[in-house]
Amino acid sequence: MDNPSEQIARNVKWFRHKNGWSLDRASAETGVSKAMLGQIERGESSPTIATLWKIVKGFNISLSSLLEKIPKEHDQPVTLFRDANELRQKIADDTMLVSSLFPYDPMVAFEYFEITLPPGYDRLSIPHKRGVIEYVTVFEGEMEVLSEDVWHRLKKGQSLRFQADRPHGYRNLSDHPAVALNVINHPGRK
């Protein structure tokens, strides 16, 4: 498996060129400095999760688009096997582990992740594009999800749906890792 920073570097550059954007234009669209974008594209910097979400939002792409080897623009096969154990990786300058189980597919307008929050993990997330909804189901440990200024405690087997186009967050106050499925629905995205 490629180093996530190298894959992100290739894909950020690919999407910037696909859009015909200079680094100045990409910086204006994403809110990420031109210098930082250049460092990311050259693989000289491991971006934070917050920076990745700014890039995703500015390019109007899914997070999984930055993680996959080849950006997918065609239909996915109906039957597709993915193994979280082979895909699990630290994708940014962050301690959360992510497995991009099913990358964004325009046929269903969602992307599907396994996320692992280590003990003591705490992160606030910037709002996603308008209309984006997230679904979180805990299947190991427990965690809390911030939605509408309330921290919702989720135990094994519990789920939460919330509007992700508003400030939200994730934390694990326990002494054990929390593992959850995270589905991000992007209605209206092409």
Is 190 a member of any domain?
no
> Domain check: are 106 and 61 in the same one?
no
> Domain check: are 99 and 177 in the same one?
yes
pLDDT of residue 76: 54
> Domain check: are 88 and 130 in the same one?
yes
Domain containing residue 48: CATH number: 1.10.260.40
Cα–Cα distance, 86 to 173 (Å, whole number): 27
Domain membership of residue 100 as a residue range? 84-185
Model confidence pLDDT, tens digit, residues 108-132? 889 999 999 999 999 999 899 899 9
> Domain check: are 32 and 115 in the same one?
no
Cα–Cα distance, 60 to 26 (Å, whole number): 12
Cα–Cα distance, 181 to 190 (Å, whole number): 23
Q: Which residue has the higher pLDDT, 72 or 22?
A: 22
Query: How many distinct structural domains can be found in the chain?
Result: 2
Of 59-68, 164-173, 180-189, the range with the highest mean pLDDT is 164-173
